[in-house]
Amino acid sequence: MSRAYNFCAGPAALPEPVLRQARDEMLDWRGTGMSVMEMSHRSDEFVEIAETAEKDLRELAGISDDYAVLFMQGGASGQFATVPLNLLGENTRVDYVNTGIWSKKAIAEAKRYATVNVAASSEDRGFTTVPDQSEWNTSADAAYLHYTPNETIGGLEYDFVPDSGRVPLVADMSSNILSRPVDVNRFGLIYAGAQKNIGPSGLVVVIIRKDLLGRARPETPTMMNYQVMADNASMYNTPATYSWYLAGLVFKWLKEQGGVDAMEALNYRKSKKLYDYIDASGFYANPIEPRFRSWMNVPFTLADDSLNGAFLKGADERGLLNLEGHRSVGGMRASIYNAMPEAGVDALIDYMAGFVKEHG
């Protein structure tokens, strides 16, 4: 098969030029006689790769020197513990907003370390909306306020950045980082598992305001201590070097595409045409309140669930892969991250329309 359109929620499709470059450099990075994955993390070559990746990310996301950028391991799920361990300090109370399955996972892990106040939840509305911030029951003395800007499974995305006052705002941006501009200065901490918009799995990027460093609780494993990681430029121990390199290639590619502004325009177009088609189809449906529909993850159901198997089989045959919805919600889901070209969305809509003609 030639390259397919891969709608997987994560690990997800990477830009083809990135994969081509990685392929071409696999046995010999720029005449060094080594693959990047064979380089000492302390070598001049790798340090340059690592620093360039950070610099490009800072430029793309508009990250000031008030923030440290960390390249850690353990994914977002690791951060679910790392965040409270590092940010609680002497405090015991934290605020979380519950808008879906990933919010719930973050809350469950935080409860093991802190008293979690669920400041707002849309669970009673099936996670189809984001509670209006005027109704949030936040506390002025919380160690932080945590939310999930994009729920990968539900396909729900905030269209605003919450106002957390003087309480540090913490966001799990795993599935929408770099997909459109965000004012980083509004946040105390942003974390993102790499395997959607950044690179391969096994890497998690953390952006933390420097005044929040140095508060880790005594039981924090050293590998999870943000201060230690910041002091050592994320090389306290051997980092995930090859994933870091690939993230750097993705950042370069993003810059070549025009950066996050260009991604915003593209992602808006891609998601709008897919939602517009779904709404007009009379056959497919998406349950999310339109204002909060995710630009990254588009779940949809068929008018008749018994056709799901035929839909997926036909899609596979056309190279439209991994459209099955998450096992917890069923139906379909098209994840259309930065690396999904508009032609992939067009091909999906074509297929969906053809399927309706045949089965609708």
DSSP string covering 131-172: --GGG----TT-S-EEE-SEETTTTEE-SS----TTSPEEEE
Instruction: Check residue 319 for interaction with its own copies (CB under 8 A).
Output: yes
Instruction: Check residue 101 for interaction with its own copies (CB under 8 A).
Output: no
- Strand pairing partners for 324? 332
Q: What is the DSSP letter of 114?
A: S
Report how far residue 267's alpha carbon sits from residue 321's, in angstroms, rounded to the nearest whole number. 19
Instruction: Check residue 334 for interaction with its own copies (CB under 8 A).
Output: no
Contact pick of 211, 222, 305, 354 for its own copies (by CB under 8 A): 222
Using CB under 8 A as the criterion, what x/- string covers residues 231-270 for binding its own copies?
Answer: -----xxxxxxxx--x------------------------
Q: What is the DSSP letter of 325?
A: P
Active site residue 29: no
- We find the least distance from the C-beta atom of residue 312 to its own copies, in angstroms, to be 13
Please count the residues of the chain: 360
Closest CA to 332 of 347, 352, 346, 318: 352
Contact 173, 147 (CB under 8 A): no
Question: Per the annotation, does 304 bind a ligand?
Answer: no
Instruction: Check residue 82 for interaction with its own copies (CB under 8 A).
Output: yes
Instruction: Check residue 314 for interaction with its own copies (CB under 8 A).
Output: no
Measured from the CB atom, the residue of 264 and 316 that comes closer to its own copies is 316
Q: Which residues contact 327 (CB under 8 A, 6 or more apart)?
A: none
Active site residue 66: no
Catalytic residue list: 102, 172, 196
Which parts of this chain interact with its own copies (CB under 8 A)? 1-4, 6, 8-14, 16, 19-20, 22-23, 26-28, 31-35, 37-41, 43, 73-78, 80-82, 85, 109, 112-113, 193, 195, 200-203, 218-219, 221-224, 236-243, 246, 319, 321-322
